[in-house]
Amino acid sequence: MRSNGFSSCLADAFEQFVAWRCAGSGDFASQAARLHRFDRFLARSVSDPSEIDREVLGEYLASMARLAPSSKTGLVCVVWQALRYAARHGVALPPLPERPRFPRRTVVRPHIFSPEEIDRLLGAARDLGPSDSLRPETFFTLFALLVTTGIRIGEALAMDIGDIDFEGASLRIRRGKFGKSRIVPLHPTTVEALRTYMGRRLAAHGTDLGSAPFFSTLCKTRLAHRTVHGTYRELIERARISTPGGGLPRIHDLRHTFAVRRLLDWYGRGIDVNERLAALSTYLGHVDVSSTLVYLRPNEETLREAAKRFQHRCPLPIPAGEGSRDR
């Protein structure tokens, strides 16, 4: 048994893979635990990498039959990544089949906010009461930050004053999903908005300790998820924003909106989206690009831009005679 817990015939490759992912993704503990589960299965099932074929992988997938689709996806994702890593680094493995997919039982279609809806949402936040308190500025700045950076609501609420580098125009996410940390570059206008809020926050609460919560309540405590979700619902109803089905958009849809708007911006500037997806994935704090693609499901605007690009690259021929009739 090795000190890192890996004991199968792929122990060395798995150890190197985890070290590589930790170097690039910060905390990789949850994904490493999933890989340990697969390693234990291999230790019981095979003695040589050449035996890890479709049949063995099929047995592993069958052992996960009772898990939820999301749990299966998390396990298979890290296992397939580790096997590809091992193959690229000289381990003689049989050809790896395509990674299986496990569709979620219910797929929630995200609401992509229009610029006008964003304006109405932020306007409603400005109109919150008490008018002479910090509350309107707190929620305006919070939701504006979600719109302009795409960070998760939990990441925003966990922000401390010391996490913002005003001079370096960046935000340090210390408690992201799966415990991963990252640095998020900020647009100059976002920096100025945060600086303005910071000044008013100091005037109202009188503390600038680096460990103090950046977004705080009237009682000078950190904003709670329940409070934020309740206020968000109030703002959405005031702004008269609803999904095509008549429901209320989720806070998480602001993150989807950021990702889609970034994609549309790249389309509009003629940038190769495929080359930028890895950067967007890192910015959003995803483990891999496949997680980012969930945010980029086709919608009316992206399909329209894709059609324009296709028409530009592959213009349809004009039937003979039609051109003369139009002159």
Active site residues: 152, 177, 252, 255, 286, 295
CA distance linking residue 181 with residue 173, whole number of Å = 5
Give 212's contacts (C-beta < 8 A, 6+ positions apart): 160, 161, 205
Amino acid, single-letter form, for residue 46: V
Give 275's contacts (C-beta < 8 A, 6+ positions apart): none
DSSP 213: B
Cα–Cα distances in angstroms (integers) from residue 1 to residues 22, 42, 83, in the given order: 22, 14, 20
Which of 150, 173, 214 shows the shortest CA–CA distance to 27? Answer: 173
Other beta carbons less than 10 A from residue 325's beta carbon: 6
The token pair at 109 is: 């279609």
Phi-psi domain of 5 (left: phi exceeds 0; alpha: psi -120 through 50; beta: other)? left
CA distance linking residue 295 with residue 292, whole number of Å = 6
